[in-house]
Each structure stands twice: as C-alpha cells, then as structure tokens.
Amino acid sequence: MRQPRGGSGTPSKTRPQTTSSVGFVPVERLPESALGLVWHRDGETAAVREFVRALAGRGVSLGDAQVVA
C-alpha cells in the first residue's frame, strides 16, 4: 500500500471493502484529517452510492452533499 505523504499510517486489521472500481481501506495511526469524496456527475454508479452508504454506516460524516459544476 502506498503511504500518504507525511504519514506513517498502517492499514487497520479491518477487512478492506472493495468492488471492481471503488475501495475502502481503513488506516490507523495517522493524524485526524478532513477528506472529500468526489466523483464526476456522470460517473455516479451503484458502487459509488454503496460506498457512501458504507462510510455513513461506519459513522463517517460526509457533511452536506454539494454538486459543483
């Protein structure tokens, strides 16, 4: 797994959740950070929607969804 810049985190023991085009790999021991989930409006798929639901189910706040043109 490629390490993020400035971080020395390690993947957690939680089993990674993946589909053919979307993946979620929990990482531990990194400072808290803010991230954004972005995809092209024409690229929204059932896999993307399921990924968002999975994050929300883990208590990850995605804030207010916004469409930016």
Sequence-distant contacts of 48-51: CB under 8 A, at least 24 apart: 48/22, 50/19, 50/22, 51/19, 51/22, 51/24
Rounded Cα gap, residues 61 and 64, in angstroms: 9
Indicate the domain borders of the chain.
10-27+38-57
Map tokens 């706040």 to a residue.
Answer: 61
- For residue 69, what pLDDT band results from cuts at 50, 70 and 90? very low
What is the per-residue pLDDT across 5-61, written as a single tens digit (0 to 9) for each?
A: 444 455 445 555 555 666 667 778 888 777 667 777 788 888 888 877 877 777 766
Structure tokens at 68: 């930016």
Whether the predicted model's global pTM rises above the 0.85 cut: no
- From the list 50, 49, 59, 48, the residue with the least C-alpha distance to 26 is 59
